[in-house]
Structure 1
Amino acid sequence: MRKIFTGLFIVFCLGAQAQFWTETSSGFSTNFRGLSKFHVVDANLAWAIGYDGFNTANNIQQFSKTDDSGLTWSSGVFDLGDTSLGIADLSGVDSNTAFVAAYPRQAGQQGGIWKTTDAGVTWTQQTAASFNNVASFPNIVHYFDANNGLAIGDPTNGYWEIYTSNNGGTTYSRIPSASLPAPLNNETGYLSQFAYSGDSIWFTTSAGRIIHSANRGVTWSVYQSPLSDFEGTTIFGDISFATSNRGVIQDNAGNIFKTTDGGQTWNAVVFSGTGTPYGGAISYLPNTFHMVSTGGEANFAGSSYSVDDGTTWINIDTDQHVGVAFFNDTVGYSGSFSNATNNLGVFRYTGSVLNEASVEELGEVQLFHNNQTGQLEVATGQQFKNLRIYDLHGQLGLTSTSTLISTNLIPSGVYIAQIFTDTGLKTSKFIKY
């Protein structure tokens, strides 16, 4: 189902804090091009979709990509053979290879999946992902690697239209209805409204549900979220996952909900700080407790971040941001609007605050050190016994029977934490700045 960009552009705000974002040209020669729906492939490469930020009703088929961590961007055109098809989603594989999902905007049109192998110069339809029902509506394309991918659309013939490929799109197989949760009456998905981590993928629906596969689409489960609709007229939201179990939902009012069981259950977060989530897009930094929130609505625009799993928020700016995506604690992007004269159009992360806390996943034990507050926290569903901290010379620095311990009394350096639970010993390294 189509997701409409409703936010108006703000004319080239230059106030973004330099210690976090630096705005650069998005590669579009036409002014007022918005950039959104980033797919960050690796530390150097990212693809993103362009749209008309002056009049969102205008349909354009453009993209931009970077090969140098966002320093420069080059734009291109989705040449799909039908200029009136809408662009739903984009999944990059490498600098030359990407997939795009396009949806019908007029009666009689057929959407589908297209692939480029020449950096976007030409696009070839992947006809095996047929989407040829009158009700077919592709929303998502996601490739886990060069060969294995998914194409996800609204229900047709009574079940979700989802295709898998294990050969880079040469062939696709539709997931049988027996492997999928049944759709509710009039339930649909949304354009590029999904999250992924490892082999897991989640997509959201108009009924506020989250449909999840933990094995690249072989089998699926469904969970009810705290929202009634992920793109409703009054309530909508975004979703992101740090790991296969730990995820977050942000609604358009800036409320935050978290899960630690892959999306089965959600709990509201009571947060504080100098900032607030902005209600537009949200992105975890993979495998950390860090997240960045952005807002694109004219009356709720800005960006903020949290380094303690959404409990405390620090404001960054009040500029308009369209989408957000992070690869790690040094590479991340947020969309803006092009101005060819002033070389604007995309924010890239150039700060250091997101690596001031270190996190390591230790199976069912999580170790989190916040350098800003000087606190080390152990999170585990196991029975915690005690914690010992050693420096790299093997000298015992601290011991504790609490899962929350101050590190303000130890000097800066690299430390080894030994975490004792009822199942044994877990060891992790952290840095005290």
Structure 2
Amino acid sequence: MRQPFTTVTITEILSDSLSVRAISPQDANSVWFAANRGVVGLIDGKIPKIATVKYEDVVLNFRAIAKTEKAVFVLSIENPAVLYKMDVANNEAQNMTEVYVENGEGVFYDAINFWNENEGIAMGDPINGCLSIIITRDAGITWNKLSCDIVPPIIEGEAAFAASNSNISIVGNHAWIATGGKRARVFHSSDKGKTWEVFNTPMVQGNVMTGIYSIDFFNEKTGVIFGGDWERKEFNEGNKAITNDGGQTWQLISNGRGPGYRSSVKFVPNTNGEALVAVGSPGISYSNNAGKDWVELSNEGFYAIEFVSDSIAFASGSNKISRLVFK
């Protein structure tokens, strides 16, 4: 059994006046990112390769990114929501094309993820009574929005947070989507988005900024949700929970103990679902026993974290992207 982490070394690889809430590692030394002010790019080592994207003279705000073997996808949040596909070869983006555009009142997209090279999913806030969910089956060339006949209805005031591109978790054919606001629930599909069900959670809910900010599954049964109350970041009740039955039921963990609000949580690879790292503006938190106990490894704030291996991750935040090495 590996030794628990006791320290994290943080090396800043991008310093810019950007809000970076979406990252996707290429390898242990390079990471794709999407940010506000229309900025997308790749940090290759410490060399930034950056582009600024406009749609019909509108500067877009990106908070969602996903990568397949041959392409990188970036999705802007609000009206108009625009999804771009960038072909990738030799750590270079080529042929950036619009593959989905949505205009209208209430349009707001939060996250994107892929099951495999051909099938992907993006989700956003509700329109006409259900979550906005778009699906691709042809490697991201075309995307189709699911009908509200397929997606379970939302509760009034229920939505999602574009805080870290981690509202969606995928394992095998499964997808789980986390919500917050007036209700904090988990939507689940076992067949790559063809059918859906929804489960209640014991997470703090009822106000605009409460609920689930991040979801991650270790396998088809074991998953974790994290969030809290953005307006009371130190509040550590009803802000973290775990499931062992695929999301049907959730049990609060370290309730009233450990970290408060965090915006991104991940299982540490190769730790059999035992080790967790959660980041947020208050700092970096670590558990070696499935969330029962936590230690604070750093008070440096981040919005999002993505692991490359069981000891290396990238994290992004306000004005920065950093490479993290855990020991």
Q: TM-score range by the shorter chain?
A: 0.7 to 0.9
Cα RMSD over matched residues? Answer: 3.1
Query: Post-superposition shift, 1:73?
Result: 4.9
Pairing partner for 1:263 from 247, 252, 256? 247
Corresponding residue SS for 1:23: strand
Alpha carbons of structure 1 residues 177 and 304: separation in structure 2 relative to 1, 3 Å? closer
Partner residue of 1:291? 276
CA contact (8 A) 1:46 1:92 kept: no
Which residue, 178, 195, 210 being the options, matches 2:186?
210
- 2:170 paired residue number: 197
Report the counterpart of residue 285 of structure 2 in structure 1: 304
Query: What is the TM-score normalised by the length of structure 1?
Result: 0.61
Give me the whole-angstrom Cα distance separating, in 2, the residues matched to 1:137 and 1:194: 13
Q: Which residue of 2 aligns with 1:377?
A: none
Q: Does residue 349 in structure 1 map to residue 319 in structure 2?
A: no
1:185-209 superposed Cα distances (whole Å, 9 cap, x missing partner)? 3433332341323232222223211
Number of the residue aligned with 1:238: 214
Secondary structure at the aligned position of 2:208 is classed as coil
TM-aligned CA deviation for residue 231 of structure 1: 8.0
> Aligned match of 1:160 in 90, 112, 131?
131
**Does the alignment pair 1:277 with 2:277?**
no
Q: Structure 1 residues 21 and 347 mapped into 2: Cα distance closer, same or farther (>3 Å)?
A: farther
Q: Structure 1 pair 259/62, CA: closer, same or farther in 2 (3 Å)?
A: same
State the partner residue of 1:24: 12
Secondary structure at the residue paired with 2:149? helix
2:199 touches 2:247 (CA, 8 Å); kept in 1?
Answer: yes
Q: Flag the 1:73–1:90 CA change in 2: closer, same or farther, 3 A.
A: farther
1:251 to 227, 230, 253: 227
Q: When the two structures are aligned, how many residues end up with a matched partner?
A: 303
- In the alignment, what sits opposite 1:48? 33
Counterpart amino acid of 1:149?
G
Structure 2 partner of 1:124: 97
The 1:231–1:33 alpha-carbon spacing in structure 2 relative to 1, beyond 3 Å, is: farther
Distance 1:78 1:285, change over 3 A: farther
- Who is 1:102 aligned against? 76
Residue of 85, 90, 108 corresponding to 1:115: 85
Alignment check: 8 A CA contact 1:87 1:100 kept: yes
| Cα shift at 1:167 | 1.1
Once the two structures are TM-superposed, the CA of residue 90 in structure 1 deviates from its matched residue by 1.0
CA distance in 1, matches of 2:211, 2:221: 25
Counterpart of 2:232 in structure 1 is none
Partner of 2:231: none
Partner of 1:350, secondary structure, is strand
SS of aligned partner of 1:123: strand
How far apart are the structure 2 equivalents of 1:150 and 1:90? 11
Flag the 1:41–1:195 CA change in 2: closer, same or farther, 3 A.
Answer: farther
CA distance in 2, matches of 1:214, 1:43: 31
Q: Which has the higher contact order (CA 8 A, sep 6+)?
A: 2
* 2:35–2:63 contact (8 Å) kept in structure 1: no
CA distance in 2, matches of 1:121, 1:79: 13
Provide closer, same or farther for how the CA distance between residues 139 and 238 of structure 1 changes in structure 2, counting only shifts above 3 A.
Answer: closer
Q: Deviations over 1:208-243 (max 9, x none)?
A: 111122222121111112225498335664322222
CA drift at 1:318: 1.8
Report % sequence identity.
21
Alpha-carbon separation, structure 2, partners of 1:24 and 1:120:
23
CA contact (8 A) 2:53 2:60 kept: no
Residues 165 and 279 of structure 1: CA distance in aligned 2, closer, same or farther (over 3 Å): same
Could you say which residue in structure 2 is the equivalent of 1:333?
A: 314
Gaps of 5+ in 1: 1-16, 52-59, 339-344, 353-433
- Counterpart residue number, 1:322: 303
Write out aligned runs for 1:384-403 (5 A). Answer: none
Give the whole-Å Cα distance in 2 for the aligned partners of 1:165 and 1:242: 24
2: CA distance, partners of 1:247 / 1:183:
22
Per the alignment, in what secondary structure is the counterpart of residue 39 of structure 1?
strand
TM-score (norm 2): 0.79
1:92 is matched with which residue?
Answer: 67
Q: Do 1:335 and 1:347's aligned partners in 2 also have CA atoms closer than 8 Å?
A: yes
SS of alignment partner, residue 320 of structure 1: coil
Deviation of 1:271 (Å): 7.4
- In structure 2, do the counterparts of structure 1 residues 83 and 316 end up closer, same or farther at CA, with 3 Å as the change threshold? same
Moved more, 114-123 or 230-239: 230-239
